[in-house]
Structure 1
């Protein structure tokens, strides 16, 4: 019997291995910090129980929902000018966010005993997920890469951000407008300037996470790492939101059971916009914007690569109306693919970078 594996089988095992290592690493991290804080891992207000419960729940429900998405013909439309290896992904169901986001939201609300801050963050998360669903649905309906107009998408994001900020004004924690800087002994007082910043954070974080979602397992894994690190950082002061972050991190892990390379489903804007909104909302409520900035390093660089690409193209546009490209393709992960990196190399490298950023945050966080 020939014991050699085909390239597809080898890739499949590598994808499973990468997702498994991430799941083991995050589970060990949750157990360790629960032990350090004298929390039992099976209690509702812990890191471990929400993480594992949502990972299992999301993974199981995915087996039920993905065939339905396939039957509804929600196959992803692939850009022809992108990496050629992506063309074989055409037809893979998208809108996976419709099952793993609600799993985390429901679990977090139940485990936190419907704490008002958890309800508020959950509402913002679902609202941004709804924007993403509209965009995904329009893409599928039109059978193109164009969903709702960028202006409409931005207007909806700003609108929901404004509603959240209004709620925050009347339910704000003490000194929320003073941005805490964990590596120094003072805060940065912003006063009224905090509110436009808050709206910008929600919109920018959701769009940055959305741009990162372009390779199997990339957004799901990097966001899972950022969420669990944020959960650890805010645990001493915001146990309810700690549970929310741990639950959403676990739900991302369950989603990766289906989204790791080769993916059986994509999260779509339904998932990516919701994840970014959740990160931004939690950071605002817990005065963790400095930590969020570090944890979002990958999302930030991905966004900068797109901005730089567009700006450079416009600046070098000649009489023929064509400009030069700074990258082979933006965002950055596509550029790396087109320079010869495999998807798994990109994802593995980004996981390592996300872990390093999380470690830096945990090292400087004032526990």
Structure 2
């Protein structure tokens, strides 16, 4: 199925229409979820109010920060081997994660009454944002899209994931080491749970980072995944659900400036932080299977890169050149080079993400 299938049937969207549609969908969805669960709109268990508050706070703060980033010449360096249509985006301010991540975390921490779980997840999120900021800063400093070395980035991610897992190991109930599955199934892993948890944190942060390649794509899909995950865990972990709703609202407020055509990019500062937050929430709430489903888009993006690299190496000829499984990876780049517009890709990924979040809630 190609882009012409959608265009011929009127599936054409502007970036502002997608942003407005997503905002309405998340707002209505959170209201319905609160109502069906008997949660008061004004209570700490509410998903709607923190979503709205953080959306407005992030959008308003962005109105000040985005021009500041532009004045500081914090413009994105576009990789030359990417889609040629992206070269016109060079110079667009990056490091947008600097404004929407901290404001959402601060509101979540205060609103939760300094909940221990929220503080821990916020700390991990900020740590991963710090890794992303270091990478973004190196890119801007040297005017190169290389950033810090992959080995350094991975080492920092593993270090913070180990620290988070050690804290959880020492403070959380022993039952956390059993992985809960749908329909009441449980897999007891014991001590093996913690290597899995560490892997989830690193993998999820890199997966959301890979998804951040089209205007509005990562911010919107993560906002949907966060709200879906938050709604699933609200009955048992209201503090973590509040955190998820706040960060989902932060993403939505960021999209006010990031929808196509983007006026700012989140950079690794934002994308690594968002993946870390998703992983940390799922670990503490013992909902790894939910994360796998609501974050399936991020998994597909990651697998497309792994498959591309593996296939290329496996098909190398005597000249050292291999074949490509996709026109370009991650998968959203393949779709773009196949004729899909950025807004068509974003609309399709939003729809899939929403359907997956709804599926998880049906299985709760």
TM-score, normalised to structure 1's length?
0.95
Q: 1:160 and 2:194 equivalent?
A: no
Partner of 2:7 in structure 1? none
| Aligned ranges 1:146-225 → 2 under 5 Å | 146-182=146-182, 184-225=183-224
Partner of 2:120 in structure 1? 120
SS in 2 for 1:179: strand
Partner of 1:357 in structure 2? 356
CA distance in 2, matches of 1:13, 1:296: 24
TM-superposition CA deviations, 1:254-288 (whole Å, max 9, x none): 00000000000000000000000000000000000
Partner of 1:106 in structure 2? 106
SS in 1 for 2:358: helix
Contact 2:13/2:344 (8 A) holds in 1 = no
Partner of 1:84 in structure 2? 84
TM-superposition CA deviations, 1:84-122 (whole Å, max 9, x none): 211110100000000000011001001100000000000
SS in 1 for 2:54: helix
CA distance in 2, matches of 1:336, 1:195: 36
Partner of 1:333 in structure 2? 332
TM-superposition CA deviations, 1:8-67 (whole Å, max 9, x none): xxxx98111111000000001111111122222133331011100000000000000011
Deviation at 1:175, TM superposition (A): 0.8
| Aligned ranges 1:218-367 → 2 under 5 Å | 218-365=217-364
Aligned residues: 353
| Aligned ranges 1:30-69 → 2 under 5 Å | 30-69=30-69
The change in CA–CA distance for 1:186 and 1:81 in structure 2 (over 3 A counts) is closer
Deviation at 1:322, TM superposition (A): 1.3
Partner of 2:9 in structure 1? none
SS in 2 for 1:175: helix
SS in 2 for 1:215: coil
Contact 1:45/1:112 (8 A) holds in 2 = no
TM-superposition CA deviations, 1:236-268 (whole Å, max 9, x none): 111111100000000100000000000000000
Worse-matched range after superposition: 203-212 or 29-38: 29-38
Q: Post-superposition, which runs of at least 4 consecutive aligned residues in structure 1 deviate over 4 A?
A: none
Partner of 1:6 in structure 2? none
Deviation at 1:186, TM superposition (A): 2.5
SS in 1 for 2:184: coil
Deviation at 1:81, TM superposition (A): 2.4
SS in 2 for 1:276: helix
Contact 2:45/2:234 (8 A) holds in 1 = no
SS in 1 for 2:235: coil
TM-score, normalised to structure 2's length?
0.95
CA distance in 1, matches of 2:43, 2:362: 26
SS in 1 for 2:247: helix
Deviation at 1:319, TM superposition (A): 1.6
CA distance in 2, matches of 1:195, 1:82: 36
Question: Which blocks of at least 5 consecutive residues in structure 1 are unaligned?
Answer: 1-11
CA distance in 2, matches of 1:292, 1:112: 22
SS in 2 for 1:327: coil
Contact 1:45/1:111 (8 A) holds in 2 = no
CA distance in 1, matches of 2:81, 2:206: 22
Question: Which blocks of at least 5 consecutive residues in structure 2 are unaligned?
Answer: 1-11
Contact 1:19/1:256 (8 A) holds in 2 = yes
